[in-house]
Structure 1
Amino acid sequence: MKKPILTLIFALMTAFAHAQVQTLPLWEGTPPLQTSMDLQEEVRQEGIIRIANVQIPTIEVYLPAKQIATGQAVVIFPGGGYGILAYDWEGTDFAKWLNSQGIAGIVVKYRLPLSKSLTDPKEVPLLDAQRAIRLVRQNAAAWNIDPAKVGVMGFSAGGHLASTLSTQYNHEVERPKDAVDALSARPDFSILAYPVISFRDAAVHSGSRKNLVGENASQDLIDRFSGELNVNAETPPTFLVHAQDDKGVPIENSLLYYTALHKNGVKASLHIYPSGGHGFAFGLGKGSVETWRDVLLAWMKEL
């Protein structure tokens, strides 16, 4: 019995070791809604890699070996309150883990609305998110990905971006178009970890709202970026995970989104753990929340 298990472990380790990684810019030349100001991206290593003032948005693509590839891909949006990106903690670490499960992981280094180089900051994260999923579909054949199995994963404010993409994938702004824009930006599924969903006062994460739409946003703008108000029957199937003791982003965010999904007949799976706090990522050392990734994998196999 031990020999087959050891053989499987060795095969997975070998496949992981040969995973392919590449980085591609989202846009050719100066990205839309951005001036060509000579600003510098900021990268700090403070236990985790924190990136701010992104000027050249990219996707970092992690591909599993073909022997174990499932055809699924997950486009990952790290959190950070729309002020920074927790790039490894909620990004590349998860891409590598997904690779070990035969799933492509694509980490998006999206532009943040605080950058002074942006001409319409509130629109830019969604624009980058749409572009990221379209680029994955454009390269699906080369990357051994099924273009009908491309989902999104977002953490905290990255969860807000993933839910905004899931409900506003057809939203357009005035800009030049190219062939990539002909592809669908609708995710096939959505994974939201302790997500910011609502910009309304009862559940709002004030930092994310302030950074994206400002302190004095109109009610129309607040409602537009409150995901629970924008769900419809075409919103993708969604997996939500949250901790009851989250002091940063209240669990009401996940509850509101789940309720909206249920009312619209969208398949959804909601998992609330009693403890874990905010930003638990893998959940290691935080009790039962450690098992959330196993539950997620089972859900993804059912899609």
Structure 2
Amino acid sequence: MKRLLSTFILFSLAITVFAQDQILPLWPGLPPLQKESNLEEIQQQNGILRISNVQIPSIEVYLPTKQIATGQAVVIFPGGGYGILAYDWEGTDFAKWLNSQGIAGIVVKYRLPISQSLTNLKEVPLLDAQRALRLVRHHAKIWNIDPEKVGVMGFSAGGHLASTLSTQYSYDLERTKDAIDTISARPDFSILVYPVISFQDQFTHGGSRKNLLGENPSQEQIDRFSNEKNVNSNTPPTFLVHAQDDLAVPVENSLLYYQALRANEVSASLHLYPSGGHGFAFGMGKGAVENWRLVLLDWIKTLN
């Protein structure tokens, strides 16, 4: 009986270890565009896990069981105005939900451009985003992922980062590189949820623009990070969802990106809801917008 009990305990532990998510640093050693410092990451749990002052960017990997795996993966960028990361609300909760649909979910804990340890603030989030895509493709085989079915998902400012990656995936900085840097960082598809897209005065989310570009950005910087201006025919197919009563990030952000995609003959699916506000995430208890995830799943199934 004791031997049977011991065997059961060991088996249970094995299942637990197998089911655990994996956390991998994005960079070996000190990340690029960062100096040595004594700064530490801050995590605050008050209904939502809010992470700030990220010093060691990472990916947290959630994989579906092989029996239901589709081979698709979604790299998730939580929002938070480039000041914090709403890490569970717009990150790990969605990774777990995607797993239930047979899709790998990879949450990116990217560095935020207000940290005093960074040396080139505006370039750091995109650099981390590029690395995250490349790292997923680097591990695709062992994670049972098709490297040609890796998309991105971003919420609010995370949507700005996802759309920046979708339009500037080949943007290159002079720095020390390794073999992973040779892998394509182009997403195969994009899912943008109440995204910040434009940094133009009349449409932008002021906090996101200020945190990324500072108080008085040049027009050149504004244009570079107004992603509706950077869409071309190679921009990935995109799903957009937004509420018309969003008072933080105007619905025009999604409209401008959709119009740019259409103008460049890129496949796009735009879904607007009359209410839901900003930051609705799953949309639970928010009326019709609660259905957006089912619409998303139907769209994902149409992807090649």
User: Which TM class, normalised by the smaller chain length?
Assistant: over 0.9
| Corresponding residue SS for 2:112 | coil
Q: What is the deviation of 1:46?
A: 1.2
TM-score normalised by the chain length of structure 2: 0.94
CA distance in 2, matches of 1:164, 1:170: 11
SS at 2:21's partner residue? strand
Give CA deviations for 1:136-177 in whole Å, capped at 9, x if unaligned: 000000000000000000000000000000000000112100
Query: SS of the residue aligned with 1:165?
Result: helix
What is the SS of the residue equivalent to 2:186? coil
| CA distance 1:18–1:288, shift in 2 (3 Å) | farther
Structure 1 or 2, whichever has the larger Rg, is 2
Equivalent residue for 1:203? 203
Task: Decide whether the 8 Å contact of 1:19 with 1:99 is kept in 2.
Answer: no
Structure 1 residue aligned with 2:152: 152
TM-score, normalisation: structure 1: 0.94
TM alignment of 1:204-223, pairs within 5 A: 204-223=204-223
Whichever residue aligns with residue 101 of structure 2, its letter is Q
Residue 42 of structure 2 corresponds to residue 42 of structure 1: yes
Partner residue, 2:57: 57
Match of 1:9 in 2: none
The DSSP-based 3-state class of the residue aligned with 1:61 is strand
| 2: CA distance, partners of 1:74 / 1:227 | 20
Distance 1:204 1:72 in 2: 32
Q: Name 1:105's counterpart in structure 2.
A: 105
Letter aligned with residue 119 of structure 2: T
Distance, in Å, in 1 between the alignment partners of 2:34 and 2:299 is: 39
* Shift, 1:43, TM fit: 0.3
- Alignment partners' CA distance in 1, 2:262 and 2:48: 36
SS in 2 for 1:170: coil
> Aligned letter for 1:134?
R
Extract unaligned runs of 5+ from structure 2.
1-14
Runs in 1 of length 4+ with deviation above 2 angstroms?
Answer: 15-20
Which residue does the alignment assign to 2:191? 191
- Inter-partner Cα distance in structure 2 for 1:16 and 1:207: 41
Inter-partner Cα distance in structure 1 for 2:98 and 2:176: 34
Contact 1:18 1:65 in 2 (8 A): no
How far the C-alpha of 1:194 sits from its partner, in A, is 0.1
Instruction: Give, in whole Å, the separation in 2 of the partners of 1:285 and 1:105.
Output: 24
SS in 2 for 1:105: strand
Q: How many residues align?
A: 289
Q: Distance in 1 between matches of 2:38 and 2:259?
A: 45
Q: Which amino acid aligns with 2:61?
A: V
What amino acid sits opposite 2:264 in the alignment?
A: N
Change (3 A) 1:94 1:16: farther
Structure 2: how far apart are the matches of 1:199 and 1:137? 30
SS of corresponding position for 1:91:
helix
Aligned to 2:7: none
In the other structure, the counterpart of 2:169 is 169
Distance 2:249 2:216 in 1: 21
Deviation at 1:19, TM superposition (A): 4.3
The amino acid that maps onto 2:247 is: K
Measured in 2, the distance between the counterparts of 1:239 and 1:19 equals 30
Quick one: percent identity of the two aligned structures? 76
Q: Taking structure 1 as reference, are residues 16 and 201 closer, same or farther at Cα in structure 2, changes over 3 Å only?
A: farther
**Matched residue of 2:94: which SS?**
helix
* Counterpart for residue 274 of structure 1: 274
Question: Which residue type is aligned with residue 40 of structure 1?
Answer: E
Distance in 2 (alpha carbons) for counterparts of 1:104 and 1:278: 26
Alignment partners' CA distance in 1, 2:68 and 2:32: 37
| Partner Cα distance (1:100, 1:18) in 2 | 16
Q: How does 1:249-264 map to 2 (within 5 A)?
A: 249-264=249-264
Counterpart-to-counterpart distance in 2, 1:24 and 1:212: 25
2:24 corresponding residue in structure 1: 24
Q: How far does residue 298 in structure 1 lie from its aligned partner after superposition?
A: 0.3
Q: Distance in 1 between matches of 2:67 and 2:18?
A: 11
Q: Deviations over 1:3-22 (max 9, x none)?
A: xxxxxxxxxxxx99964510
CA–CA distance in 2 between the matches of 1:136 and 1:16? 23
Q: Please tell me the residue identity of whatever aligns with 2:161.
A: L
How far did residue 38 of structure 1 move? 1.4
Question: 5+ residue gaps in structure 1?
Answer: 1-14
> What is residue 72 of structure 1 aligned with on the other side?
72
Is residue 19–residue 64 contact of structure 1 (8 Å, CA) maintained in 2? Answer: no
Could you tell me how far apart the structure 2 residues matched to 1:243 and 1:109 are? 26
SS in 1 for 2:259: helix
In 2, Cα distance between equivalents of 1:73 and 1:157:
21
The answer to whether 1:245 aligns with 2:245 is yes
Instruction: Determine the C-alpha separation between the residues in 1 that align with 2:183 and 2:274.
Output: 41
